[in-house]
Structure 1
Amino acid sequence: MSDYHDDLRLAHVLADAADAATMDRFQALDLQVETKPDMTPVSEADKAAEELIRGQLQRARPRDAVLGEEYGIKGTGPRRWVIDPIDGTKNYVRGVPVWATLISLMVEGEDGYQPVVGVVSAPALGRRWWAARGAGAFTGRSLTSASRLGVSRVGRLQDASFAYSSLSGWEEQGRLGGFLDLTRACWRTRGYGDFWPYMMVAEGSLDICAEPELSLWDMAALAVVVQEAGGTFTGLDGVPGPHSGNAAASNGLLHSELLDHLNRRD
């Protein structure tokens, strides 16, 4: 059994509370939306969900630090909860059901902070995925009603399904040529975006996905789920984990080819 079973159970409790709060305001006609300094939207639901999770963590794990997208970091120590209250806020505010609450526990070790627990809860899709280090990755309605996740065994790019969010970020970084070559080399490409393609890599319905610019709270929960499903999660620099400011995920068999394409500069 994983050493993090109790933390995983707590992450599910946190996700349950966040799901109730976010679904209560999803598609509300009077939803309040603001623009942050980085020109991305934040809704009242983002703030309320993060406040709710922080409050429960303060009661249940008062010694742990918390890092969230909306309110930054509070506390210090070897254990740090990382929260994205709504990953996919632009979808959320437009009534598109592809958004999720991401909750991860990161623990400090020899290689810095690494995620050991991750829960990805997408209530508008009726889906949830989770993992704990050494215990595998799962999807289902609860800890007791779940199916184990496993990545695909596709070993050739011409047979692979590739997902991405948009073209603009690749173009801004001078990587568009390699990105387009990758799309031409693959069997199928789709722009699912945000958390969803990483979860589909974990469950084997996609083979590769990548994004050129992400924050830690966008990636921490996704990384441990992909890794525990048998996949590979790195930055575009090939460094394992969620610390590179961007992400590439695969079934492992295609990872070097994925990185080779995306690191070709225009």
Structure 2
Amino acid sequence: MTEQPPAQSADLAFALALADLADGISLPRFRSADLRVDTKPDRTFVTDADTAVERAIRTLIESERPNDGFLGEESGRADRGERRWIVDPIDGTSNFLRGVPNWGTLIALEEDGEVSVGVVSAPALGARWWAETGTGAWGLQDGADPRRLRVSGVERLEDASLSFQSIEQWDQAGYLDPLIALSRAVWRDRAYGDMWAYMALAEGLVDIVAEFDVKPYDLAALAPIVREAGGTFTDICGSSSVWGGSSLATNGLLHDATVRVVEAARQD
């Protein structure tokens, strides 16, 4: 018998409604001939879809959850109270503007400094993933019934699949040698990129994901999904916060071994 997701809390239901709202804005703009693309001061791209999605999400949050705070990639921070919604309107903007379907909206709820709800919606892939602390991680593809997500049971680095995301990130962070050491320690290394690598980890398809130069809105929605699927999600130094500027997500069984390889290579 297929396992069914538990009844949704009001917060999770609201997060999923926000994802529906985002999909209805972003998907029609994907591969559109008149997509407007600008360059931000940090030299990253932003499209009219990014700003429209974030504006719509923020407006609905302010209307339906007026006592909650908000942190969005495009509009910044507006803190109120002990609860805060953290949103990346389009994670994978470079993919979006090039017509690559690996992009999605990331929606998270942080309560008292801990992320409790995460939703990742990737409409161009026909996929969505979500989790709330204590209720498991779930996903669906092309409208099929939700299925519970579980990380892999791989126990040895030499059998593991690693997504390192970007050589440039590791190099600029001063971690190029650890990346090379990890690539030699694992069975397979690829750069799947952006949110999809973490969702592949939660589905048991990848065993280790790590990257640098990431902000809370890049990671907040991902962390509860990985953790509720049975994995471990920290920064590269082992802190469970999503505010450390780096990430290391594993199936849990490989976390300590991965950290040891990274630390040993840093010391050489």
TM-score of the two chains, using structure 1 as the length reference: 0.94
Which residue matches 1:61? 65
**CA shift at 1:244, angstroms?**
1.1
Q: Secondary structure at the match of 2:35?
A: coil
**CA shift at 1:143, angstroms?**
11
Cα distance per residue 1:191-250 (max 9 Å; x no partner): 101111111111111111100220000000000100111100000110113121110000
Q: Which runs of 4+ in 1 moved over 2 A?
A: 1-4, 141-145, 260-266
Matched, 1:86 2:90: yes
Which residue matches 2:154? 154
Which residue matches 1:131? 131
Which residue matches 2:41? 37
**CA shift at 1:167, angstroms?**
0.5
Which residue matches 2:117? 117
| CA gap 1:82/1:122 in 2 versus in 1, 3 angstroms | same
Return 5+ residue gaps in structure 2 as ranges: none
**CA shift at 1:76, angstroms?**
1.4
Cα distance per residue 1:78-125 (max 9 Å; x no partner): 1000000000000000000000100000000xxxx1110000000001
Counterparts of 1:179-190 in structure 2 under 5 Å?
Answer: 179-190=179-190
Counterparts of 1:1-266 in structure 2 under 5 Å?
Answer: 5-108=9-112, 113-140=113-140, 145-263=145-263, 264-265=265-266
Distance in structure 2 (CA, Å) of the matches to 1:143 and 1:67: 30
Q: Which amino acid aligns with 1:45?
A: A
Distance in structure 1 (CA, Å) of the matches to 2:26 and 2:196: 17
Distance in structure 1 (CA, Å) of the matches to 2:66 and 2:19: 18
Q: Which amino acid aligns with 1:17?
A: L
User: Would the aligned equivalents of 1:139 and 1:146 in 2 still touch at CA under 8 Å?
Assistant: yes
| CA gap 1:103/1:143 in 2 versus in 1, 3 angstroms | farther
Does 133-142 or 195-204 show the bigger shift?
Answer: 133-142
Q: Which amino acid aligns with 2:67?
A: R
User: Would the aligned equivalents of 1:164 and 1:197 in 2 still touch at CA under 8 Å?
Assistant: no
Distance in structure 1 (CA, Å) of the matches to 2:222 and 2:173: 23
**CA shift at 1:260, angstroms?**
2.3
User: Would the aligned equivalents of 1:4 and 1:117 in 2 still touch at CA under 8 Å?
Assistant: no
Q: Secondary structure at the match of 2:146?
A: strand
Q: CA RMSD in A?
A: 1.8
- Give the count of matched residue pairs: 262
User: Would the aligned equivalents of 2:69 and 2:84 in 1 still touch at CA under 8 Å?
Assistant: yes
Cα distance per residue 1:110-165 (max 9 Å; x no partner): xxx11100000000011100000111100016999310011111000111011121
